Amino acid sequence: MEIANIQKRIDQIDKLEIEAKTLSEYLKSELENDEIYKDANEKVKEATANKKKIKDQILSQNANQEQLAKIKESADEISTLKQILSVELMEFYQESKNDFVPDARGGEPRKFVLTARLLPKKNYRQGRDNFGQYSSSSSMQNIQPDDHSTTPTVS
């Protein structure tokens, strides 16, 4: 693979993203200038605020708080396990050159896909973990870029 092809593809993506953003801003402006749309949007905002208030009241009950905590804990664990799995599958592929892994339950082999994401040009690690995802921990804010590699992820 020639680097020129990669650079060309990145340039095409950048240009299309800029064009899409410009068109999106134009349409947003058109909507904001329409009185009927503005009136409908205000009604939606009021209904959404009322819905949020009711939802918050229901979720603030102790039993529901416990369930929400369990859901969050499970989501965090799933996220961590997926990141670990991604690294393990990458290593498995590098060693075996095979993109199928036997299913633990004895079923059909499972195919996996390795993907790479291009991080933003400037301060590509600022506020991101080693997988390019935004981190909620403040300690990630001070990480300095150590290389320009991308970390493959599992789809």
Per the CB < 8 A criterion, the answer to whether 59 and 65 are in contact is: yes
Q: Which residue(s) pair with 153 in the sheet?
A: 115
Q: What is the number of other CB atoms lying within 10 angstroms of the CB of residue 101?
A: 16
Q: List residues bridging with 128 in a β-sheet.
A: 134
- C-alpha 152/C-alpha 140 separation (Å) is 20
Confidence of residue 38 (pLDDT cuts 50, 70, 90): very high
Q: Which residue has the higher pLDDT, 150 or 60?
A: 60
Question: Mean pLDDT throughout 50-79?
Answer: 96
Of 8-17, 35-44, 67-76, 101-110, which range is least confident? 101-110
Q: How far is CA 113 from the centre of its chain?
A: 17
Name which of 132, 128, 135, 138 is nearest 152 in CA terms: 132
Q: What angle do CA 74, 127, 77 make, to 5 degrees?
A: 10
How do the domains of the chain map onto residue ranges? Answer: 37-112, 113-155
